[in-house]
Structure 1
């Protein structure tokens, strides 16, 4: 690659702002934007000086003129747009979850094959507080990882007088989601555990609904196991009074020589709390998007594997789906 990567973006909702900023940071040229709500596409185009605006992805691909597409639309659009990309020889990055079910993901991956490069935008691995934990483990500060526990807490689905809960206002589609916390949010946490601990499988799980009027779960507890009796846990609740509306995370990783704790924005070794590193999560929120897009560009340029390649992310999708199977929810074979 001797010229700037030409990128088209499909999906111009809230999260697309961070995607578009990240492509600019990665040195890519954004040549087209598309959204079924043309007004949204036109607004983003004006904001980022993009000349080509579409309401139909098929029309955009027919016109061509780009090397890669970033699929930042809702999950139902992922597979159709990814197929268009493969058919037109366009490399693709797709927002998580890749598809609604593992079966759909497997079919999509088989359809795309090796015709184009295919990365899933799973950005929690690239968030600065998680990157700090990964760096400390790589620096051998705690020895071999032997146990891990991750949790997320937020008040985003707590009732608010006179209006809907914060997360419903921010993400109205949640009113129709039969799978919520694990599918939409904790898929990130399961991916982090896979990244830190290696292959895992679900032993058992429990899900609950504490918020009123929503079909999907907002509370979860998951027990996982790895090789040689390795144990990990993941739990979350989005109806936790006192916590911020946008959830925060706690991670504990126990090694043979030490223990790392990440509490919201603080990372420290147990026994050395006075040496904690603090991360400005709000000020550095854009960073994980920037790193993901730069990784995509570097992978194309250098012909190296993507860390969150479609096959790696398929394992995260399988882990997420197995949580629902563990509680008796059938979500596809």
Structure 2
């Protein structure tokens, strides 16, 4: 059964990124890679954020990034960006091995920070960065932007309103072909899929459910003959308190035509189910808009709601991560995607790798001991 137009119109789901009142805060971007060009800059332009300029160790990349942004500065040095009087927020988009030191330097100069994920290559490094920012009263967030993808943010809103009753189960399944070679440095690392892709799903599952996992049981594999050093296929089981469970299943080696690819999510509770597609991974790299279907006994028994969502993970969700940081600054509070909150996501990532190595469930508590 489908709901009437009147019933459908009553389904007011909050899912679009919320923006700050003050849009004038200046942003300085460190890094001019593909993700900055294809997501950060387009999203910030859509939102109306003010990007002062960009720095990259390869100046030609920075110049290419700003070629359609005549009002942006190409900084000659990192110090020039840090000391520019209009840069209040530093958006760091560099590999994890370089990020903590850059972030700590920015914090000590009084800049608020948006870090890329993963926050650091070890839990200890991440913990130290959290302590530094806390001691300096710096607002620092992590660019776990999938939280603000339309389907995931809508699911979060639905769970918070308890339309699903008690959350019981979550699953995210992805079967695509990912061109890791677009990021040459990723092809050389041994911790690939979970550290740089499924980290989004681990973060999104706990964000939607509003729960912290107890333990992780994970397995990873490679495609025979693949030109990448790290794992490109993973299965991750998460146990939450009580009866709640989650499964993340990823394969990045789908050799079929794109109409065989899929990227789905599903959250189930005692009173209903919400499910949908992550449109950004369909027809890659052009993408589609997310889809969503909701069944809830607490709304109208027997009705399947299919609200139309606008936007997709790339680039629209990137408005959400920066927007939340800016709102936290003006409201003087911790951002929802704070680096402190992200420590839990990092625990699940490092627990997954330990589980793969030792073939056993790994409790999150083990990662901080």
1:300 partnered with 2:313: no
Q: State the Cα distance separating 1:251 from its structure 2 match.
A: 1.6
Distance (Å, rounded) in 1 between the aligned partners of 2:368 and 2:223: 26
Cα distance between partner residues in 2 of 1:65 and 1:143 = 47
Distance 1:2 1:267, change over 3 A: closer
| Aligned twin of 1:267 | 292
Alignment of 1:165-180 (within 5 A): 166-168=179-181, 170-180=182-192
Give the structure 1 partner of residue 61 of structure 2: 40
Q: SS of the residue aligned with 2:97?
A: helix
**CA shift at 1:58, angstroms?**
2.8
CA displacement, residues 194-230 of structure 1 (integer Å, 9 cap, x when unaligned): 1122100334211111152321001111111111242
Query: 2-11 or 230-239, which moves further after superposition?
Result: 2-11
- Structure 2: how far apart are the matches of 1:210 and 1:219? 8
- Whether the 8 Å CA contact 2:107–2:133 is kept in 1: the answer is yes
Give the aligned partner of residue 312 of structure 1.
341
C-alpha distance in 2 between matches for 1:59 and 1:320: 35
Structure 2 equivalent of residue 92 of structure 1: 113
CA RMSD between the two structures: 2.8
Comparing 55-64 with 235-244, greater Cα deviation is found at 55-64
Q: Flag the 1:27–1:213 CA change in 2: closer, same or farther, 3 A.
A: closer
Which residue of 1 is the match for residue 364 of structure 2?
Answer: none
Q: Could you say what secondary structure the match of 1:327 adopts? A: helix
1:297 Cα deviation (Å)? 1.5
Which residue matches 1:113? 134
Structure 2 gaps of 5+ residues are: 1-20, 279-289, 296-300, 359-366
- Relative distance call for 1:83 and 1:142 in structure 2 (3 A) is same
1:140 equivalenced with 2:152 (yes/no): no
In structure 1, runs of 5+ residues without a counterpart are: 157-165
TM-score by length of 1: 0.87
Q: Does 1:255 align with 2:269?
A: yes
Distance 1:222 1:291 in 2: 26
Cα distance in 1 for partners of 2:131, 2:233 equals 34
Alignment of 1:177-216 (within 5 A): 177-197=189-209, 198-211=211-224, 212-216=226-230
User: Mean alpha-carbon deviation: is it higher for 306-315 or for 228-237?
Assistant: 228-237
Q: Could you tell me the TM-score, scaled by structure 2's length?
A: 0.79
Whether 2:25 is the aligned partner of 1:5: answer: yes
Cα distance in 2 for residues equivalent to 1:3 and 1:255:
38
How is 1:9-158 mapped onto 2 (pairs within 5 angstroms)?
9-17=29-37, 18-115=39-136, 116-156=138-178
CA apart distance, 1:242: 2.7
Once residues 187 and 246 of structure 1 are traced to their aligned partners in structure 2, the CA distance between those partners, rounded to angstroms, is 24
